[in-house]
Amino acid sequence: MNTVKIIIKKRNNIPLSQKEIEYIIKGAVEHTIPDYQLSAFLMAAFINGLNDDETFFITNAMLKSGQTLVLSNIQSIKADKHSTGGVADTTTLILSPAVASLGVPVIKMSGRGLGFSGGTIDKLLSIPGFKTDITVSDALNLAQKSNIVIMGQTKDIVPADKILYSLRDVTGTVESIPLIVSSIVSKKIATNSDVIIYDVKCGSGAFMKDINSARSLSEKLISISKKFGKRAAAIISSMEQPLGNNIGNSLEVIEAIEILKGNYLSSDLYNLVRVLGGVTLFCCQKATDIQSGSEMIDNAIKSGYALEKFIEFISQQGGNTDIINDYSLLPQSKYKKEFLANETGYISKLDAQTIGMASVETGAGRKQKDDYIDFGAGIIINSRIGDYVKKGDIIATIYSSSQQKLNSAYNEFISAVEINRNKPPKQKLVIDVIV
Ligand code: URA
């Protein structure tokens, strides 16, 4: 087979065969195809798209580039939730122990933060002692023992994604629905849960800026997952403003613990957890419908079982469980600066992407892939879109261990906020549920 001929075929918008796609993925993993040819292939795929067969072939070839977890020792229906990435999206830390406490095993491989959007692994690593770098066999033992394990991405699972994603990141080819689908679904199939719930973010702080593209991404995620024999569903949720109030690693851990303790149950963050949980329990046949599944999640929180499961999870992965009652044991930043309302009125904009970028400026995220993370840094926002504020009210507090980073985060944050005399229309949090 000839790489140039395959690139030209895709450039001319002619569908590729399974063999041609497998040849490209094998060449990527074995380093027999150079980055410049892979980049040209990715750009041709970005511009001309991949049809459903090609999307399945590339997903399957990526899956086969590495190992698959064998979960046959765990009899119950296993669930996994995947968010397409957002700002202050701490749902995994609340949903996973809640669902696990209800008897549904959660075996997750999560990622690090990517650009302005946070990552579960970075949040967990802000807990002193917590280990995400665990072997596949340890992960299986932990899952069998306690129904919950969250591991970092290993080089043995879907190595093709690591290679292709790092090229996509620097060649302007990230926001392609088939490439996103193959990247996400290959990893989900490799970790091998029976039920996969996709939280597809839509809005300023998401890859999908509008509802039509969010819907088509959701439909493709579901249909390709089903081709692998999985039960899949998608929730399309708004990412116009940060989901939670806290942005940044240890700050988000604190917000998750507060919700697990039964506080802030009317927040958007918890409302999304309820819906995700309801859909998960329904698809896992633990609830007769989504509403009763959401009520089971409420009970898991109110009874304290979800918090107990979270403590067990932290402990079994080496983390210090004293953080639950003493947040001062979590990393904290030395400097803080308040952002005040400069006029009286309704908050009409709290732009998620700009706030995510301001959070990266504090040191809570990475600009380069090997950047050091300031685990205590980030932003706490006191308001939501539609809230009435008076001039001088504190809208947000920005935290950083560096005075210089604090100032640049503050400068970035300024353009995220708009205040208006007229009350803006209410924002819909859950835009659609596709089961
Ligand atoms: N998340 C992934 O894992 N892959 C993508 O391509 C986009 C988001």
Judge whether 267 and 381 are in contact, CB under 8 Å. Answer: no
Test site for ligand 1: of 50, 184, 201, most ligand atoms within 8 A of the Cβ: 184
Total domains in the fold of the chain? 3
Q: What is the 3-state secondary structure (H, E, C) of 176-206?
A: CHHHHHHHHHHHHHHHCCCEEEEEEEECCCC
What confidence score (pLDDT) does residue 279 get? 98
Residues with CB under 6 A from ligand 1: 84-85, 179-180, 183-184
Domain identity same for 35 and 171:
no
Distance CA 197, CA 78 (A): 11
What confidence score (pLDDT) does residue 44 get? 98
Domain identity same for 12 and 104:
no
Test site for ligand 1: of 169, 177, 180, 191, most ligand atoms within 8 A of the Cβ: 180
| pTM assigned to the model | 0.96
Atom of ligand 1 nearest to the CA of 187: 3
Helix (H) / strand (E) containing 430: strand 430-434
Measured by CA distance, the residue closest to atom 5 of ligand 1 is: 180
Domain identity same for 242 and 187:
yes
CA of 144 to the centre of ligand 1 (A): 28
Domain identity same for 40 and 179:
no
For the record, the structure tokens of 432 come out as 């659609």
CA of 155 to the centre of ligand 1 (A): 16
Phi/psi of residue 335, each to 5°? -110, 150
What confidence score (pLDDT) does residue 90 get? 96
Domain identity same for 118 and 231:
yes
CATH number for the domain including 215? 3.40.1030.10
Domain identity same for 304 and 364:
no
Among candidate residues 219, 146, 210, the one with its CA nearest the CA of residue 180: 219
The verdict on whether 274 is a catalytic residue reads no
Q: Looking at the domain assignment, is residue 265 inside a domain?
A: yes
- Among 289, 324, 359, the domain-final residue is 324
CA of 263 to the centre of ligand 1 (A): 32
For the chain, the C-alpha Rg in angstroms (whole number) is 21
What confidence score (pLDDT) does residue 330 get? 98
Q: What domain range includes position 264?
A: 79-324
Test site for ligand 1: of 62, 81, 158, 174, most ligand atoms within 8 A of the Cβ: 174
CATH number for the domain including 344? 3.90.1170.30
Say which of 65, 182, 183, 294 is annotated catalytic. 183
Strand 417-420 with 335-340, pairing: unpaired
Q: Looking at the domain assignment, is residue 63 inside a domain?
A: no
The verdict on whether 370 is a catalytic residue reads no
The verdict on whether 138 is a catalytic residue reads no
Strand 378-381 with 394-400, pairing: antiparallel
Say which of 80, 122, 161, 374 is annotated catalytic. 161
Atom of ligand 1 nearest to the CA of 182: 6
Judge whether 68 and 250 are in contact, CB under 8 Å. Answer: no
What confidence score (pLDDT) does residue 114 get? 74
Domain identity same for 168 and 31:
no
Atom of ligand 1 nearest to the CA of 184: 3
Distance CA 240, CA 350 (A): 7
Atom of ligand 1 nearest to the CA of 180: 6
Say which of 10, 78, 81, 82 is annotated catalytic. 82
Domain identity same for 98 and 225:
yes
The verdict on whether 432 is a catalytic residue reads no
Domain identity same for 319 and 203:
yes
CA of 327 to the centre of ligand 1 (A): 32
CA of 173 to the centre of ligand 1 (A): 11
Say which of 78, 108, 162, 187 is annotated catalytic. 187
What confidence score (pLDDT) does residue 115 get? 79
Strand 231-238 with 195-202, pairing: parallel
Domain identity same for 208 and 225:
yes
What confidence score (pLDDT) does residue 111 get? 86
Domain identity same for 267 and 405:
no
Taking the chain (435 residues) in consecutive chunks of 10 residues, what is each chunk's mean pLDDT? Answer: 97 98 98 97 98 98 94 93 94 98 95 84 97 91 95 90 89 93 96 97 92 97 98 98 98 98 97 98 98 98 98 98 98 98 98 96 88 95 97 98 98 98 95 98
Measured by CA distance, the residue closest to atom 7 of ligand 1 is: 180
Domain identity same for 319 and 341:
no
Q: Which alpha helices (DSSP H) does 30-109 contain, by range?
A: 35-48, 52-63, 91-101
